[in-house]
Amino acid sequence: MATEHSVLIRDNIHGLDVFVDDPRVKIVSMNATAGVLADPQTFLSFASDLHGQAASISRQAQEVILLLNYALMRPEPVAQIVFAISAVEMLGQQETWTESQKHLLAELAVSAETSSLGSEEERLEVADAIKKNLHRLSLRQGVLRLFERLDLAHLKGKWDSVYAERSRLVHGLAPRPGANYSELAQKAVSLCGYILLKALAAELPIASRYTDEFYKLP
């Protein structure tokens, strides 16, 4: 036993230790966690390449990157799944109707106004709803439109598969106690990261060089 600054430090005993009940007695307990990290050179090289270009990206691109980074920083697999998929859905909601579809909606508004069905007030309400674009692209429509724009239509099957698992998890079927969602989180983050880097490459072409390196799809 050593005495220092009126503190009695007990020796490391592997077994039963009996000592006087004294408030000065302290038992030292140490705990260490070691982590094996990937070679940082790839990341540092990527960061260096982007340093001079990242400031010029749009606010939309910044928000998508922040949401993806937030997903990557979550220690909980369920949170990673939700935030990664939400980032893609958010980007998909920036997609709009084509010009032909906009003309069609305008014609539908006129048809509603001039229809003989319902009262004049009812017809105007329907026409006004069409004009105000209440029929926005759904989340799924937005994502599929995003795939088409990025030439990623071949990922539709993978997206549907991951999204179906995500829906079973989120809608009514809460995370089961003890269930391990790490595999699903890995699939969701890899797929969404791949999509988002492809989208980012439209503003930062250099990002396309790292898409397959950071997010390899099976």
pLDDT tier for residue 2 given thresholds of 50, 70 and 90:
very low
pLDDT tier for residue 60 given thresholds of 50, 70 and 90:
confident
pLDDT of 96: 66
Per-residue pLDDT reduced to its tens digit, 134-168? 556 677 888 888 888 888 999 999 999 998 888 88
Per-residue pLDDT reduced to its tens digit, 6-38? 777 777 666 677 778 888 887 777 777 766 666
Q: What is the DSSP string of 57-95?
A: S-HHHHHHHHHHHHHHH-SSHHHHHHHHHHHHHHHHTT-
Q: Model-level pTM?
A: 0.62
Neighbour tally for 152: CB within 10 Å? 18
- Longest Cα–Cα distance in the chain: 98
| Token reading at 123 | 């017809």
Q: How far apart are alpha carbons 197 and 212 in whole angstroms?
A: 9
Domain ranges of the chain: 60-95+139-217, 99-132
